[in-house]
Amino acid sequence: MDPIRIAIVGMGKIARDQHVPAILGNNAFSLAATVSPRDSGLEDVPHHRALDALLDEGPAVDAVALCTPPQVRYDLAALALRRGVHVFLEKPPGATLSEVAALKSLAEKTGATLFASWHSRFAAGVAPARAWLAERRIDAVSIVWREDVRVWHPGQDWIWEPGGLGVFDPGINALSIVTHILPRPFFLKEATLVLPENRAAPIAADIQFRDTAGAPIHMDLDWRQTGPQSWDIVVETDAGTLKLANGGAVLSLPSGTEHSEDVEYPGLYSRFATLIRGGRSDVDIDPLRLVADAFLRGRRETTDAFYD
């Protein structure tokens, strides 16, 4: 079977650090081209400044991975889908829920695969955590996702603009895990969003959710953490405590702790290849919907101006 010819659109840090090695390490794909208006691309890989130029002039591609900021992703995805090209969407899948719904409808009409990826779901501890929780009574959940924005998003002004999500850019990773591992749906009850006086997106948030059986779920997000970073989910159950640490890579159960290597992006590309070969799409918007609820219902507080 011939490999899937894929182009990366948007050659920022995530593309170079994660997408390129995951594609090169998967025999189901061949990296056919890159696209970026500012970056010069990779040595020995054809490069274009715009996606329409690639699709018009070649080389031919079967799929694209969109690694651009979410605010510009809809037009790129729609262009590719209309050409019958499969689309991998980095998280979050769009700047709005309506954009993603429109893309899903377009993919259904064209028959191309649309994959709304959530890389944290492919962290090594997530699948066994989901299996262990499937038949447990959930009593309470705590999510602490605190990191230093200067380390992870230096100089990325788009992330502070409307649609860039602010601290929910990492926070949505936690929500992608929790919506996947908990056996029941949950919804927002109240939220406080803390916005720097010079930014349009929050730098911190405190959120209260509740699942459909009444279990409380508390989420603490902060982009001002220095020193050790915190990406932890703790689930209290009738059978003891489950903890996912390091973004889902380390799973602790009453029976012991398991440490595993980073398998997120290789897992994403294996999933994308399976979807393409099967003629299917995977467009889960639950994490983005919860973020939208926080923006819809959350109380705003203003804090000191933030500068990189």
| Domains and their CATH numbers in the chain | 4-116 (3.40.50.720), 123-259+292-303 (3.30.360.10)
- For residue 262, what pLDDT band results from cuts at 50, 70 and 90? confident
Q: Tell me what percent of the residues of the chain surpass a pLDDT of 90.
A: 93
* Catalytic site residue from 13, 91, 189, 243: 91
Residue 187 has pLDDT above 80, yes or no: yes
pLDDT of residue 257: 79
- For residue 305, what pLDDT band results from cuts at 50, 70 and 90? very high
Residue 301 has pLDDT above 90, yes or no: yes
Whole-number average pLDDT of the chain:
96
Residue 162 has pLDDT above 90, yes or no: yes
Q: Report the predicted TM-score, pTM, of the whole model to 2 decimal places.
A: 0.95
In 3D space, the residue among 144, 145, 191, 190 whose CA is nearest the CA of residue 169 turns out to be 145
Can you tell me the mean pLDDT for 179-185? 97
Decide: 195 and 300 in contact? Cβ < 8 Å. Answer: yes
pLDDT of residue 195: 98
Is 109 one of the annotated active-site residues of the chain?
Answer: no
